[in-house]
Copies of this chain bind each other. A is one copy, B any other.
Amino acid sequence: MSVDSIKVTVWNEYRHERKDPNVAKVYPEGMHKAIATYLGKQLDLDVRTATLDEPEHGLTDDVLAHTDVLIWWGHMAHEEVSDVVVERVYQRILGGMGLIVLHSGHFSKIFKKLMGTTCNLKWREVGEKEKLWVVEPGHPIARGLGPYIEIESTEMYGERFDVPQPDTLVFISWFEGGEIFRSGLCYYRGKGKIFYFRPGHETYPIFYQGEVLKVISNAVRWAAPIDGLKITFGNVKPLERIRK
């Protein structure tokens, strides 16, 4: 592993897969493993996983200190994520760590805290078709894609998605049942970069689909921290002479 590799931690709630045989059939080792397996094959990425039921949810100070980009999937247990860990992750993001929030992670504590809004939306689970259209084709997160990604069968998320207008909007989804959704959203927050990506319901094999995984790996590279300036806040002396 190169010294310059991007350190990725794939975090998963990892409950559905252990409780629901239908989900277990699709993701026997959890969605985090499916994602981590793909990312782990990329030479520039150094990948580990963490899950809710590990001590400190697997997100200790040490793990976060060695994480450049955190990927987040949660759904049924958002409220079980401790406020202490949320605050720790939040501080790391404002300090430069990238965050990729997947699908039902829209309702996670960390995403809501960063957005400052309810992050609410419409949804329906009937296994309909989705097309994610690329609307900003020069953006690095669209690298290597065709004009759209088709997902054969998925849960629907519909607008109004109650989030701030993104700094850059990369994907918009079409759903068979009549809705649309802003489904690839880039945000600068603090020194960190955040990407929300809609696909990925637990009962569909979406995290095995090549284009979805490609987007996640593109997003990891986009969200990686830069050797950024140390920002100072607070009381400062004048840089120039004040005339009075």
A residues in contact (CB < 8 Å) with B: 94, 96, 113-118, 120-124, 126-129, 131, 133-140, 142-147, 158-162, 164-165, 167-169, 172-180, 182, 187-193, 225-229, 231-244
Within the assembled complex, what's the spacing in Å between the Cα atoms of A229 and B211? Answer: 13
Within the assembled complex, what's the spacing in Å between the Cα atoms of A201 and B180? Answer: 22
DSSP majority for the A interface?
A: loop
In the assembled complex, 26 residue pairs joining A and B whose CB atoms fall closer than 8 Å, in A order, are A94-B117, A121-B233, A123-B234, A123-B235, A124-B235, A124-B237, A126-B238, A127-B242, A127-B244, A128-B242, A128-B244, A135-B160, A138-B191, A143-B227, A143-B228, A146-B229, A147-B160, A147-B231, A165-B168, A165-B188, A168-B188, A169-B169, A172-B172, A172-B182, A174-B180, A177-B240
Inside 8 A of A190's CB, which chain B residues have their CB?
A: 117-118, 138, 162
Nearest-CB residue, chain B, relative to A120: B233
Inside 8 A of A232's CB, which chain B residues have their CB?
A: 122, 147
B113 touches A116 (CB 8 A): yes
Inside 8 A of A176's CB, which chain B residues have their CB?
A: 238, 240, 242-243
Inside 8 A of A146's CB, which chain B residues have their CB?
A: 229
Within the assembled complex, what's the spacing in Å between the Cα atoms of A115 and B233? Answer: 17
Within the assembled complex, what's the spacing in Å between the Cα atoms of A142 and B122? Answer: 19
Within the assembled complex, what's the spacing in Å between the Cα atoms of A186 and B21? Answer: 48
